[in-house]
Amino acid sequence: MREQLQSEAQHDSAVAASEAAHVEVLSASLEDYLKAILRLERASQAVRASEIAEQLEVSRPSVTGALKTLAARGLVVHAPYGHVALTEEGVVIAEEVERRHVAIRDFLTRVLGVPEEKAETTACRLEHVLEPDVLAHFVRYAAKHA
Amino acid sequence: MREQLQSEAQHDSAVAASEAAHVEVLSASLEDYLKAILRLERASQAVRASEIAEQLEVSRPSVTGALKTLAARGLVVHAPYGHVALTEEGVVIAEEVERRHVAIRDFLTRVLGVPEEKAETTACRLEHVLEPDVLAHFVRYAAKHA
DNA sequence: ACCGTAAAATAGGCGCGCCTAACTTTCAGT
DNA sequence: ACTGAAAGTTAGGCGCGCCTATTTTACGGT
């Protein structure tokens, strides 16, 4: 807080093709929403706002608000009273967050020996705070010291 | 945000004697203020609000507000228009934050090989997010793999 | 002793992310 | 087809952390 975190989203690999390259600096909260939607899309076919609310332990109106913001940024599509779906760009970002999450979690468990569950919840927070280049160090190290 | 981070401040050692044991969950922002004041106390004798503002790159009114909160929690003393000083409890917490900061920074540089400056700024954020028990894993690992 | 300047405080506002309460829409069961 | 419950939205509010503009206080120099 107070410093601009998030850096200039570095869609390193697959993105290149995406349209705007708006830089899209998302808050930790909005990243969480994207991640939750991604996961729900895998599990159920049609994602409902209430599922998101449940997953994130947030009220339904909070979800409505977040979806509005995400829709405005073109990361999500949702007809009022209808289902929710990530746009292509939304998927890219959500997967990026997911990727960071997994990388951090794995580092914590495999390298440091942090218990599974603790690693999971910790990764949920670190994923919004570690800049890509620093994360790269974690990944490289884990690869060597499997 | 959304999950209560910060854990129950674990004043492990020296505190015991302190009064309330209010649990004192401080926001990342307030922890930053304490840390800044601690550092300024070391450098100058009399800490001025404007120094804090400068260090944290924040306006003076923001400092006034933060000091009011910290004073209300008994972590800081400051006569209106006067100097600022940490209370005993304030020092304990500030040093705790500092300790976390150093531990994280050292891990990043010594273990992962993250460049000094990057490690410094990253530690500034991680220090508010890593729970004590997870941090302990970092510390233990760094000790072994110096 | 007086005044100007610099430091601090107050007043008022803004964005974000969350909430509850109340209203609307959807849809499944009869 | 109709209705009632569940899902969604709107309205209004709150706390936090920050800001600018303005006022108040403190203090060094003459």
pLDDT in tens, A87-145: 999 999 999 999 999 999 999 999 999 999 999 999 999 999 999 999 999 999 999 99
Report residues 103-142 of B contacting strand D, contact meaning Cβ closer than 7 Å.
none
Q: Is the CB of residue B113 less than 8 Å away from at least one CB of chain A?
A: yes
A51, A101, B4, B18, B94 from B26: Cα distances, Å = 31, 25, 11, 17, 11
Shortest Cα distance, chain B CAs vs residue A42, angstroms: 24
What is the mean predicted confidence (pLDDT) over B93-107?
A: 98
The tens digit of pLDDT for each residue in B14-54 reads 444 444 455 678 999 999 999 999 999 999 889 999 999 99
Shortest Cα distance, chain A CAs vs residue B76, angstroms: 21
Question: Kindly report the CA angle at B109 between B106 and B115, in degrees rounded to 5?
Answer: 135
The 3-class SS string of A27-70 reads CHHHHHHHHHHHHHHHHCCCECHHHHHHHHCCCHHHHHHHHHHH
Would you state the pLDDT for residue B45? 84
Q: Is the CB of residue B1 less than 8 Å away from at least one CB of chain A?
A: yes
Tell me if A66 sits within 8 A of A33, measured CB to CB. yes
Q: Which two tokens stand for residue B46?
A: 């009399």
List, in order, residues 6 or more apart from A12 with CB less than 8 Å away: A132
Q: Which residue has the tokens 């997911």?
A: A98
Cβ contact B67 with chain C strand, < 7 A:
yes
- Strand C nucleotides within a 7 Å radius of protein CB atoms: 7-12, 16-22, 25-26
